[in-house]
Amino acid sequence: QVQLVESGGGLVQPGGSLRLSCVASELDLNYYAITWFRQAPGKEREAVSGIRINSAITYYADSVKGRFTISRDSATKTVYLQMNSLEPEDTAVYYCATADRYYADRWSDERQYNYWGQGTQVTCFS
């Protein structure tokens, strides 16, 4: 059974950095895509960044472009989200997700993802 486990969240001041990890078990990352979502209190879940593992094509939400970088290590089945220049608006629970049937043109649509991690909290405050 596919399992996704996130880690790396924490407390950080504005301008700080964190690196999130998503470890995928029972999954050949060469054939899947991994997308990071986040959900802030009282807000809808939104896509942050995604990566197509076999081609390393990446996607970013406009709000994080230039600040966040997604990468993968297929050998360890890990996808990373390096988050720099964090802002209070980045405070949220961050989830990684993957799909058995993935459509790249809808990478940010959460409805296509059928495997989700449990989430990791990121809090940015001064």
Predicted pLDDT at 47 = 98
- Neighbouring CB atoms inside 10 A of 12's CB total 17
**CA 62 to chain CA mean position, Å:** 14
Contact (CB, 8 A) for 56 and 79:
no
Predicted pLDDT at 25 = 87
Q: What is the pLDDT of residues 9-57, one digit of tens each?
A: 999 999 999 999 999 988 777 778 999 999 999 999 999 999 987 777 9
User: Cα(126)–Cα(51) distance, rounded to whole angstroms?
Assistant: 31
Rg (CA), the chain: 13
User: Cα(106)–Cα(85) distance, rounded to whole angstroms?
Assistant: 27
Q: Per the structure block, which two tokens stand in for 73?
A: 């290590």
User: Cα(59)–Cα(43) distance, rounded to whole angstroms?
Assistant: 21
Predicted pLDDT at 54 = 75
Q: What is the pLDDT of residues 50-105, one digit of tens each?
A: 998 777 799 999 999 999 999 988 888 899 999 999 999 999 999 999 999 999 99
Predicted pLDDT at 80 = 96
126: pLDDT strictly greater than 90: no
pLDDT tier at 108, thresholds 50, 70, 90: very high
Closest by CA position to 19, among listed 60, 68, 56: 68
